[in-house]
Amino acid sequence: MDYEPVIGLEVHVQVKTASKMFCGCTTEFGGPPNSHTCPVCLGFPGVLPVLNKKALLSAVRTALAVGCKISAEVKFHRKNYFYPDLPKGYQISQYDEPLSEDGKVDIDAGGRVKTIRVKRVHMEEDAGKLIHEEGENSSLVDFNRCGMPLLEIVSEPDINSPEEAYRYLTKLKLLLRYLDVSDCDMEKGSLRCDANISIRKKGDTGLGTKAEVKNMNSFKGVKSALEYEIERQVKCAETGERIVMETRLWDPDRCVTISMRSKEEAHDYRYFPEPDLVPFTLDTSVVESERKSLPELPEARKARFIGSLGLPEYDAEVLTQEKANADYFEACLKYYDKPKVIANWLMGEISAYMNSKNMAIEGLKMGPAALCGLLNEIDSGKISGKMAKDIVLRMCETGKDASAIISESGLSQISDASQLEKFADEAIAENVKTVEDFMKGKDSALMFLVGQVMKKTKGKANPAMVNEVLRKKLAAKK
């Protein structure tokens, strides 16, 4: 029997802000335990939340970017439950009237475009962190993370394979990084993902009993966890074992999902409207101004790179995978007008250099103007493409201009005919046999002579000019 998985993802991303969602504490990562806290994020008696405007606007931008309808009123609810990392005994979240609903994310599913519907994007505050003391009868609580602004992005169960889930997540990450809403670093916890997953017979349209899988802490982990869970559920189905509705934890070391004993009361969160926050209104003008200020999103940018800059699809895809890379590429166009040449360099030597140093383009010492300076030197014939590959590495290392490196290391190409004539004469004199071959009509013999001249000039000669000088000299011999 063939089964297909039905997967919905709940993604939590930490919104990039300077201060927390409801208080002025910093959102900086790290710091000694409880050093980024105050009575408000610690939920001390009598304190009150005040909403961070940027957190709300970032949520609006995200919702717009995935095509959600934005609610005219932003209402917060309290989600009530007890846990030591939740200082107030409730989380300020959104419930039946979220910030936004009904969006979509298009992914590439085996060569065709597949639409994953986004059910809702809403805001909530993060909880603190619990540290379980090994061998002790106690746990420690650090509230530094408590009150950080989060976005919850919930997909419809439109995902039908771990690969699609992976692509959906990477696409979301790309979008959020373009929007500068979040770093989406799963390892740092700025993107977290839970999955609702069930299986059904191929061709069925109903939904099976779902399990919720948590604790997937890397993009690859999501894929592996889903693969495992699908296999587990299929095995259950095949052996006639009942699949129960439950929460399962992904154990990345053992590569299995483990059942958490179900809690009968776990879902009685007693949501009710947060009385400390009067609903906020989102005027159309505010939403529209956010919409206008959205950056060009990766898909549109890729299309433009193909359409108006003439880049091959592959190049356009690669360059738009990081907003900073695409920005760098476009900055180069101001100084140099051959897009494909810039793309080649970025995807070739420069990308290799960054990979070797494990750095992002923001850390590159060579700016777009400097890179284009180099490309112009190649075009002017001052240096060869081969020389340029060495020079670019030194530019990346030092941040110096191409011209500075060329002049200080005497790398500049010999394009002076009178200088080259001397070497050409030597080459002709030293290679009588080859000259004879050429005279007999073996054109390729010339390439050998060119190579000799290049050798004598330690590669600095302009090959085209060498070619020309040699031809002239040999013609004179005839």
Partner 1 sequence: MDNLYSLTANELLVLLDKRSVRPEDIIESVCSRAQSVDGKVKGYLSIDKEGALARAKALPASGKLRGIPVAIKDNICVEGELTTCASKILSGFRPPYNATVVEKLRSEGAVVLGRANMDEFAFGSSCENSAYFPTLNPWDTSRIPGGSSGGSAAVVAADEAVMALGSDTGGSIRQPAALCGVVGMKPTYGRVSRYGLIAFASSLDQIGPLTKDVRDSALLLGAIAGYDEKDSTSVNIPVPDYLSCLTGDVKGMRIGIPKEYFVDGMDKEVDAAVKEAVALLKSKGAQVSEISLPHTEYAVAVYYILATAEASSNLARFDGVQFGRRCEDPQNILDMYERTRGEGFGAEAKRRIILGTYVLSSGYYDAYYLKAQKVRALIKDDFDKVFKAGLDCILTPTSPTPAFKVGERSSDPLSMYLSDIFTISVNLAGVPAISVPCGFTKSGLPIGMQLIGDFFREGKILRAAHAYECYTDWHKRSPKL
Partner 2 sequence: MSIKDDKVKYVARLARLKLTDREVSLIAHQLDGILGYVDKLNERLDISKDVPPMSHPHAASNPFREDKARPSAPSEAVLSNAPQKKGNFFKVPRIIEE
List residues binding partner 1 (CB under 8 A).
39, 42-51, 78, 80, 82, 84, 87-90, 139, 141, 267-268, 270-272, 275-278
Give the one residue of 12, 36, 167, 232 binding partner 2; rule: CB under 8 A.
Answer: 36
As measured in angstroms, the least distance from the Cβ of 47 to partner 1 is 7
Which one of the spans 52-60, 317-325, 327-335, 468-476 is the region binding partner 2 (CB under 8 A)?
Answer: 52-60
Q: In angstroms, rounded to a whole number, what is the distance separating the alpha carbons of residues 347 and 429?
A: 43
Q: In angstroms, rounded to a whole number, what is the distance separating the alpha carbons of residues 16 and 332?
A: 28
* Closest by CA position to 11, among listed 235, 264, 181: 181
Location of structure tokens 């990979």:
355
CB atoms within 10 A of CB 352: 11
**Angle 413-414-417 (CA atoms, 0-180°, nearest 5)?**
150
Q: In angstroms, rounded to a whole number, what is the distance separating the alpha carbons of residues 429 and 83?
A: 90
Q: Between 130 and 360, whose beta carbon lies closer to partner 2?
A: 130
As measured in angstroms, the least distance from the Cβ of 248 to partner 2 is 13
Give the one residue of 69, 108, 115, 140 binding partner 2; rule: CB under 8 A.
Answer: 140
As measured in angstroms, the least distance from the Cβ of 159 to partner 1 is 29
Q: Is 91 in the site for partner 2 (CB under 8 A)?
A: no
Q: Between 50 and 464, whose beta carbon lies closer to partner 1?
A: 50
**3-class DSSP assignment, residue 328:** helix
Give the one residue of 13, 25, 86, 343 binding partner 2; rule: CB under 8 A.
Answer: 25
Residue list 159-178, contact with partner 2 (CB under 8 A): none
Q: In angstroms, rounded to a whole number, what is the distance separating the alpha carbons of residues 385 and 389?
A: 7
As measured in angstroms, the least distance from the Cβ of 38 to partner 2 is 4
Q: In angstroms, rounded to a whole number, what is the distance separating the alpha carbons of residues 140 and 129?
A: 8
| Own/partner pairs, 468-471, CB within 8 angstroms, 24+ separation | 468/417, 469/417, 469/420, 469/421, 469/424, 470/424, 470/427, 470/428, 470/446, 471/446
Q: Between 22 and 250, whose beta carbon lies closer to partner 2?
A: 22
The interface partner of residue 48, options being partner 2, partner 1, none and the CB cut-off 5 to 8 Å by kind, is partner 1
Q: In angstroms, rounded to a whole number, what is the distance separating the alpha carbons of residues 388 and 383?
A: 7
As measured in angstroms, the least distance from the Cβ of 61 to partner 2 is 14
As measured in angstroms, the least distance from the Cβ of 181 to partner 1 is 24
Q: In angstroms, rounded to a whole number, what is the distance separating the alpha carbons of residues 276 and 450?
A: 82
Give the one residue of 54, 338, 460, 473 binding partner 2; rule: CB under 8 A.
Answer: 54
CA atoms within 13 A on the CB side of 167: 19
Residue list 93-112, contact with partner 2 (CB under 8 A): none
The interface partner of residue 438, options being partner 1, partner 2, none and the CB cut-off 5 to 8 Å by kind, is none
The interface partner of residue 35, options being partner 1, partner 2, none and the CB cut-off 5 to 8 Å by kind, is partner 2
CB 49, CB 23: distance < 8 Å? yes
Q: Between 124 and 377, whose beta carbon lies closer to partner 1?
A: 124
The interface partner of residue 267, options being partner 2, partner 1, none and the CB cut-off 5 to 8 Å by kind, is partner 1
**3-class DSSP assignment, residue 230:** helix
Q: In angstroms, rounded to a whole number, what is the distance separating the alpha carbons of residues 26 and 44?
A: 18
* Closest by CA position to 320, among listed 330, 333, 308: 330
The interface partner of residue 47, options being partner 1, partner 2, none and the CB cut-off 5 to 8 Å by kind, is partner 1
CB atoms within 10 A of CB 455: 12
Q: In angstroms, rounded to a whole number, what is the distance separating the alpha carbons of residues 478 and 474?
A: 7
Q: Is 251 in the site for partner 2 (CB under 8 A)?
A: no
As measured in angstroms, the least distance from the Cβ of 293 to partner 2 is 16
As measured in angstroms, the least distance from the Cβ of 103 to partner 2 is 24
CA atoms within 13 A on the CB side of 397: 8
Quote the tokens at residue 72.
Answer: 């005219």
Q: In angstroms, rounded to a whole number, what is the distance separating the alpha carbons of residues 405 and 420?
A: 23
Q: Is 214 in the site for partner 2 (CB under 8 A)?
A: no
As measured in angstroms, the least distance from the Cβ of 211 to partner 2 is 17
The interface partner of residue 55, options being partner 2, partner 1, none and the CB cut-off 5 to 8 Å by kind, is partner 2
The interface partner of residue 142, options being partner 2, partner 1, none and the CB cut-off 5 to 8 Å by kind, is partner 2
**Residues contacting partner 2: total by CB under 8 A:** 51
Residue list 252-291, contact with partner 2 (CB under 8 A): 260-261, 263, 265, 268, 270, 273, 275, 278-281
Q: In angstroms, rounded to a whole number, what is the distance separating the alpha carbons of residues 194 and 214?
A: 5
As measured in angstroms, the least distance from the Cβ of 40 to partner 1 is 8
* Closest by CA position to 70, among listed 280, 282, 279: 282
Q: Is 244 in the site for partner 2 (CB under 8 A)?
A: no
H or E segment to which residue 115 belongs = strand 112-125
Q: Under the rule (CB under 8 A), what is the footprint of partner 2? A: 17-19, 22, 24-28, 32-39, 42, 50-56, 73, 82, 84, 130-132, 136-143, 260-261, 263, 265, 268, 270, 273, 275, 278-281
